[in-house]
Structure 1
């Protein structure tokens, strides 16, 4: 995240003394776009791109030119496009409806927002056919010092760009915090960045508690990603609650195509998807060899800087854009479109977004209206290299254990907490059956899939009644100490059993989750739900309180600042 794009964006940032933002009424897109539907024009060769690192692969595939160049990957596969950057999504929708381009480029949330207006005519029904990237650090939720975890957003006011990429992010965070849109006040702004009407500008206002922003704005507002000092355009006390380095499976960037064009040109759509996969591979190889500063690498980054950032000199900025996304390549597209078990697949992501947009009354209701292409993605691997790669652990196990142990000793496990919830068990229970805990296990698997950059602690707690009875009988301190240690041992064995049961549960459902993400902890009787009375656990007053102490707590912790713990891709 520490790249020169920060400098470029800071120059555009408003300061607190500027005019107050003009908030807008976030209306359904069909009330914003009124373009009549037309057939796709014969000269409709426009392929839209947006200012995002993933689009550098599209530029590379085009031969690092606006118009497809001879010898480029697109040309080699019989494709010919004119790349047009269009960051205002409503403009893209208008051009799509008018037949000037058959393509849409956006996030799953952006295309879902347009689904009502696009489905009015069967010709323009959007068919999603390619996933480019996940945002993996380029977007952030910035909060003021009265917010410690996502659940603290209740009753707060959040600034978000309307019709932009952060609608997806907002939807997901509220859902996982157990909140709905009725629990927060959302103030919508027109622009993403660089103006008085952006979330970053709104964040300076006293009545704004949080904002979804791109990472350069987040770094500026928080004094470089630490805690805002109030100097140099930062907001005192502000911090990044989480970026998409933590929430790395929330914002999916995709391409969609008009239904009428798709039906007549399936071969082209298949070749386009396959070529983009090839381009992402080759570009990845170039980036991996960038220390040599080959002319091919510099050409790719210089032209990307020119078309995306309006300056061929902004190579470092283009590199920063690239670093903030994660290409999914061939494997990711197979998982996204064809793996029904994948928790972050097309149906799951589009369904969760559409349900929340219905709550906001931004779509008319009914079922999800996005379609996915009927391509055989598993057969698009010819000429590709990254087709059967296993996913490497994202965390350093030893460093995770050391970090969690330190936090446990300091009593600071809730520092950096994003979400938490509890699972209860019965007295003397040592095994955790999927038959009994399927609902809870599903939630853990889903959270682990969406927040692949967070540590998930599995914290076991024990019933203190045995210790309290022994103390009441006047047992010696050495005996009481043994009882405490036994309770701690039991609690960690239960935490490990729960973790192992979740891994087995996921494996049985052919869902891959990263075991290095989970860290079991045994608290024993030190943190009973019934509280502490003096130096000992408070005695439960009834059976309900007694059962409340027999639990496992799942806690998602943001560890982005711990570079020795988190291993970026």
Structure 2
């Protein structure tokens, strides 16, 4: 039998001791070696001009109640309220969330949406962004995680647009044309709304599906398609690249279609209710300050520019393409204001769920909005603390009186023809007429909240020309009066036109043709 040398005995002894040390370290969750090596979880603060950027030695660093709340975001100006209040993207002692609420917040930037959503599923991100219009499309794959909507962060106000080649001047001109769009995204939702406003259906155009809005812009710039739905700043860049092209429409006037929300797993929301309440209230305070102070907005642009590797000017431009929503906006969004007549989160969620089901993109049932609208709880609890005009919801858009040019000459980008049946010689709306307006036009009028609407009354050729023109104008005025009274729309928003029999769309020689000509046209005016 071979004998062990003195060195071999020493080596075996050392290995046995190391095994004992590491075994004990494992049983004590690393505390032994952590203390020996000086590896306590500490935060090394490094300020940059007072902005409070930091490097952390652990995910739990600086948190008074465990890990920081990790918020998944993309390069977008609509989340500025929270990022400004946090003094940046990292969890630091400079954060107002930390100073005023005792919570740590970390923003995780990832423009790869699929990757970011997977991180949320895996628990690497706690709170994630999405748009409420497109959220129904991801609900089936999220079913096992039971997602709940926590709050509304913004409305897109120019961040989404459709660019078109020369010769396309209205939505109707898109018929038969090729349109590049990233399906199942806010771009897709915007396109569907626009087609509806122009009396077109998806099958009336040739959709060229793209992986993202960036690829949609590239397809347009390279001449592969006639139009594309893009995100800012690709709208302006596309127009510069293609001679004669233009922006047909954007969410600057289609103001209540695309809305960013944040969501979490229901289990996380329930376990972290108090922390999410504080996150919501701080975020809303940040948004209110930016909305009401030019200095705060400039500071927010500096923070976003630094964290997203953008110039301050670009960051400011990005923020100018959104409406940062306030606490009052969230009250409206979650249907907690009985007097509100605008677009709610439930309106968008339900409509787009049905749209995408009809198109075959959703093949299973999804949770109703009332069951996922967890944010109503946060909103209710904050009502007593978030008071004052800066926290009020956005008021209706007020328009200047209609000019002579806008009366008949201003170009319409979309026309929606609706048959409203009036008894002969009558201009009063009956209940059936009101229901038709409610169902077929009111959603469009709300969605395109910053656009003027021209209401044109039309008749057949039965009777005198003068009588029919006067009657058709009274009927258009009756429709405008109804929208003003029932939905609090500004009366100056409407352009009233009585065409009488002068704009027929069918032959007046038959009863069916005359019936088609007795119509009301609703036009979205550029």
Please indicate the TM-score interval, normalised by the length of the shorter structure. 0.7 to 0.9
1:550 aligns with 2:518: yes
CA positional deviation for 1:325:
0.4
Q: How many residues align?
A: 454
Q: Is the 8 A contact 1:461 1:491 kept in 2?
A: yes
**Which of the residues 408, 411, 415 maps onto 1:419?**
415
Residue 394 of structure 1 corresponds to 398
CA positional deviation for 1:92:
1.4
- Judged with a 3 Å threshold, the aligned counterparts in structure 2 of structure 1 residues 113 and 302 are, in CA distance, closer, same or farther, namely same
Structure 1 CA distance for aligned equivalents of residues 67 and 85 of structure 2? 20
- Deviation by residue 1:311-350 (Cα, 9 ceiling, x = unmatched): 4xx1111111111101221221111112587562122211
RMSD: 2.7
1:490 aligns with 2:471: yes
Residue 275 of structure 1 corresponds to 282
- Deviation by residue 1:404-456 (Cα, 9 ceiling, x = unmatched): 23xx2xxx45x332232133323211211234431223332211110012211
CA positional deviation for 1:172:
2.4
Q: Is the 8 A contact 1:459 1:492 kept in 2?
A: yes
Residue 384 of structure 1 corresponds to 387
- Judged with a 3 Å threshold, the aligned counterparts in structure 2 of structure 1 residues 303 and 269 are, in CA distance, closer, same or farther, namely same
Structure 2 CA distance for aligned equivalents of residues 101 and 549 of structure 1? 57
Residue 300 of structure 2 corresponds to 300
Q: Is the 8 A contact 1:200 1:221 kept in 2?
A: yes
Which runs of structure 2 are paired with 1:168-567 in the superposition (5 Å)?
Answer: 168-193=189-214, 198-223=215-240, 233=241, 235-287=242-294, 290=295, 298-308=298-308, 310-311=309-310, 314-339=311-336, 342=341, 344-368=343-367, 371-373=372-374, 374-375=376-377, 377-381=379-383, 382-386=385-389, 387-388=391-392, 391-397=395-401, 400-405=402-407, 408=408, 412=409, 415-424=411-420, 425-467=422-464, 484=466, 486-504=467-485, 506=486, 511-530=487-506, 540-558=508-526
1:81 aligns with 2:80: no
- Judged with a 3 Å threshold, the aligned counterparts in structure 2 of structure 1 residues 99 and 44 are, in CA distance, closer, same or farther, namely farther
Q: Is the 8 A contact 1:74 1:275 kept in 2?
A: no
Residue 91 of structure 2 corresponds to 67
Secondary structure at 1:203's aligned position in 2? helix
Structure 1 CA distance for aligned equivalents of residues 351 and 90 of structure 2? 36
CA positional deviation for 1:78:
2.7
Structure 1 CA distance for aligned equivalents of residues 254 and 303 of structure 2? 30
- Judged with a 3 Å threshold, the aligned counterparts in structure 2 of structure 1 residues 75 and 113 are, in CA distance, closer, same or farther, namely farther
**Which of the residues 107, 117, 125 maps onto 2:141?**
117
CA positional deviation for 1:307:
1.3
CA positional deviation for 1:138:
1.4
Structure richer in helix, relative to its length: 2
CA positional deviation for 1:159:
1.3
CA positional deviation for 1:52:
1.5
Secondary structure at 2:419's aligned position in 1? strand
Structure 2 CA distance for aligned equivalents of residues 57 and 453 of structure 1? 23
- Judged with a 3 Å threshold, the aligned counterparts in structure 2 of structure 1 residues 549 and 163 are, in CA distance, closer, same or farther, namely closer
Q: Is the 8 A contact 1:426 1:547 kept in 2?
A: no
355-364 or 46-55: which moved more? 355-364
- Judged with a 3 Å threshold, the aligned counterparts in structure 2 of structure 1 residues 385 and 403 are, in CA distance, closer, same or farther, namely farther
- Deviation by residue 1:517-545 (Cα, 9 ceiling, x = unmatched): 222112234324457xxxxxxxx323333
Secondary structure at 1:519's aligned position in 2? strand
Relative contact order: is structure 1 or structure 2 higher (C-alpha 8 Å, sep ≥ 6)? 1
TM-score of the aligned structures, taking structure 1 as reference length? 0.73
- Judged with a 3 Å threshold, the aligned counterparts in structure 2 of structure 1 residues 272 and 514 are, in CA distance, closer, same or farther, namely farther
Unaligned runs of 5+ in 1: 1-40, 224-232, 291-295, 468-482, 532-539, 559-569
Structure 2 CA distance for aligned equivalents of residues 276 and 513 of structure 1? 30
CA positional deviation for 1:44:
5.9
Q: Is the 8 A contact 1:492 1:523 kept in 2?
A: yes
Structure 2 CA distance for aligned equivalents of residues 106 and 343 of structure 1? 21
- Judged with a 3 Å threshold, the aligned counterparts in structure 2 of structure 1 residues 91 and 111 are, in CA distance, closer, same or farther, namely farther
Secondary structure at 1:456's aligned position in 2? strand
CA positional deviation for 1:209:
1.7
- Deviation by residue 1:272-303 (Cα, 9 ceiling, x = unmatched): 2222111101112222xx4xxxxx65543222
Structure 1 CA distance for aligned equivalents of residues 66 and 518 of structure 2? 68
- Deviation by residue 1:31-67 (Cα, 9 ceiling, x = unmatched): xxxxxxxxxx964632122221112212111023522
Structure 2 CA distance for aligned equivalents of residues 42 and 333 of structure 1? 28
Unaligned runs of 5+ in 2: 1-64
Structure 2 CA distance for aligned equivalents of residues 190 and 168 of structure 1? 15
Choose 1 or 2 for highest CA Rg. Answer: 2
CA positional deviation for 1:113:
3.0
- Deviation by residue 1:457-504 (Cα, 9 ceiling, x = unmatched): 11123443333xxxxxxxxxxxxxxx63x5433332222122112333
CA positional deviation for 1:552:
2.5
Structure 2 CA distance for aligned equivalents of residues 449 and 242 of structure 1? 16
- Judged with a 3 Å threshold, the aligned counterparts in structure 2 of structure 1 residues 366 and 457 are, in CA distance, closer, same or farther, namely same
